[in-house]
Amino acid sequence: MAIAIDFELEDDQKAFRDAVLEFGRRELASTREDGFSRESWRKCADFGIQGLPVPVEYGGLGARPTTIVLALEALGYGSGDNGLIFSLNAQMWACEMPILRFGSAEQKRRYLPGLCDGSLIAAHGMSEPGSGSDAFGLRATAAKKGDRYVLNGTKTFVTNAPEADLLLLFATTRPDLPFAGLCAFLVERDTPGVTVGPPLEKMGLLNSPMSEIFLDDCELAAEQLLGRAGGGMAVFSSSMDWERGCILASAVGTMQRQLERCIAYAQEREQFGKPIASFQAVSHRIVDMKVRVDTARLLLYRLGALLERDQATALDAALTKLYLSEAFLQSSLDALQVHGGYGYMKEYELEREVRDAIGSRIYSGTSDLQRNIIARQLGL
């Protein structure tokens, strides 16, 4: 059933969006790939980025979903540090939101304020060497030992892990049927039996750290269970609906910046005695970029409105993730192509955005997996 959605922004939303954009330009404009910056992370926390979805009582801003996606879009436009923004998203959607929704009163009081003020960094571990898209085929086990759990296994591709203080990890009490026994645990980094591996070297998003996590007879109290025993599927699915829908909000801002940069360059750059903007091969490419960013923005704002009304579904999140990831990569490639040989040079920073965009078709569920989700939701 179709619903009417008003995309007119309120004055306070416009003001906050503009403040985020200016913050990004002023504090996060550097695109140097020097690795993760605790200083930048703290600046974001001081501004309130990590606390966007968290209620004021736990140290956050308690922002509405429509305001959150606007803010992240503005951050992507104002900042060139896609890696840092990716790490921020990974914490907010895959760690903070599960704690907020499924955590006990004590878990919320213990962890959310620190995650908001930047004194804590969190990482979410579901993927394993043998299970990626097949998330529920994981092998990590959580054996019950009295009133405690003993975890064993390996997690991989864990964003923020090299810097993380808190780990949200998934393991099963049913090795014979992992899906049925899936549990989520809040594990502090210095817990005996937890080893964080060295940083993994990636193609893009180089300022976002990633590593493996090894669990060797890691003993946890029952109070470290997030949600109920065997309720890990609900925790994971809930976080993925938020993450898939919102993790690429910043990409819409980046695509808008790419579009404006390409228009300016095409009007100034001359070949064969006239601006390259006069050639249809160039102008039509830029038109396609405009169509993509406007369509992406509409999908993003629609999802924000649905989340605000608690009407968003796995279908809405998957549609948004699929389109934004594909559009981000294609527009990044088009921006490089418009700039020709200069676009291929590192100093123009366009090749970096291509490398960053490629990952968007893989993380938080590949584009193929999103199509599977959409098809299933359509009854196919």
With beta carbons less than 8 A apart as the criterion, state whether 186 and 171 touch.
no
**Alpha-carbon distances of 18 from 21, 103, 286, rounded to whole Å:** 5, 33, 25
Please list, in sequence order, all residues whose beta carbon lies within 8 angstroms of the beta carbon of residue 315, skipping any fewer than 6 positions away: 373, 374, 377, 378
As a whole number of angstroms, the distance between CA 5 and CA 214 comes to: 46
* Active-site residue, selected from the candidate residues 73, 163, 243, 353: 243
With beta carbons less than 8 A apart as the criterion, state whether 82 and 356 touch.
yes
DSSP-derived pairing of the beta strands 274-275 and 225-226? unpaired
- Ramachandran quadrant class, 216 (left: phi over 0; alpha: psi -120 to 50; beta: rest): beta
| 96 has catalytic annotation | no
As a whole number of angstroms, the distance between CA 9 and CA 359 comes to: 31
SS3 145: strand
Instruction: Provide the CB-side half-sphere exposure for 67 (13 A, CA).
Output: 19
Active site residues per annotation? 243
